[in-house]
């Protein structure tokens, strides 16, 4: 059975978007919906082999799916807010690297087993800021479905996820407040240490 805390698992940032009309996509490019559905399919595939793979195997299998569907650099920047500009280029890159590992580790930890779960597409809409929101549900047998809202921005000729909200809750909205506080009070090294500790905890649970 997938972990009970999947209902709050691995959710990204808080960028607010307004809604407008239908949207056009460059011919031959992956649409926002296609990016989301490909990632969801990869998640389900990993869940089905979750026990056999173990945490390390799930992590390896999810590296490319997460990197190819999420705009991890932008997400890391939003997490630390204005503090980003105070970091050196080396520190910025280090933060992106460790935050990327945290994102992959979170998925590997939370989506570890399979008991008939599935994703169902509900709808999609363009936003006033040129993004797209894809609405879907995560169906869990014998439990209430989890509503996922994926917010994407165009990058090149495709789309990348910059925010995921599960049942109206964004875990990283909380992390933004936590991480900026650590940066301001304890410094950059303390933040990196805290994130690495979280990754280590995921690998042991």
Task: Quote the CA–CA distance of 34 and 39 in Å, as a whole number.
Answer: 8
In a domain, 100, yes or no: yes
For the chain (length 205 residues), average pLDDT per consecutive 10? 44 36 49 97 98 97 97 92 94 96 96 97 93 96 96 91 91 82 94 96 89
Count of domains in the chain? 1
User: For 55-101, what is each residue's pLDDT tens digit?
Assistant: 999 999 999 999 999 999 999 998 999 999 999 999 999 999 999 99
Total count of residues recorded for the chain: 205
In a domain, 22, yes or no: no
In a domain, 21, yes or no: no
In a domain, 150, yes or no: yes
In a domain, 166, yes or no: yes
In a domain, 143, yes or no: yes
Q: Is 47 helix (H, G, I), strand (E, B) or coil?
A: helix
In a domain, 23, yes or no: no
Domain holding 157: CATH number? 3.10.450.710
In a domain, 199, yes or no: yes
Q: Bridge-partner residues for 151, per DSSP? A: 133, 163
Q: Which domain holds residue 99?
A: 10-14+28-204
Tokens of 58: 């799930």
Residue 134's φ and ψ, nearest 5 degrees, are -105, 120
């Amino acid at each position: 059975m997938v972990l009970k805390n999947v209902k709050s698992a691995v959710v990204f940032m808080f960028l607010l978007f307004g809604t407008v009309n239908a949207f056009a996509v460059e011919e031959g490019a992956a649409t926002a919906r296609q990016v989301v559905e490909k990632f969801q399919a990869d998640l389900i595939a990993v869940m089905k082999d979750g026990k056999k793979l173990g945490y390390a195997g799930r992590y390896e299998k999810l590296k490319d799916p997460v990197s190819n569907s999420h705009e991890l650099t932008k997400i890391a920047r939003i997490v630390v807010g204005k503090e980003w500009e105070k970091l050196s280029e080396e520190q910025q890159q280090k933060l992106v690297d460790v935050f990327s590992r945290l994102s992959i580790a979170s998925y590997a930890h939370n989506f570890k087993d399979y008991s008939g779960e599935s994703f169902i597409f509900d709808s999609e809409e363009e936003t006033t800021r040129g993004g797209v929101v894809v609405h879907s549900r995560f169906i869990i047998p014998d439990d209430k479905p989890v509503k996922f809202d994926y917010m994407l921005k165009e990058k090149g000729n495709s789309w990348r996820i910059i925010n995921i909200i599960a049942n109206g809750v964004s875990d990283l909205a909380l992390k933004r407040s936590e991480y900026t506080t650590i940066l301001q009070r304890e410094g950059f090294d303390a933040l990196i240490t805290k994130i690495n500790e979280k990754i280590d905890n995921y690998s042991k649970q």
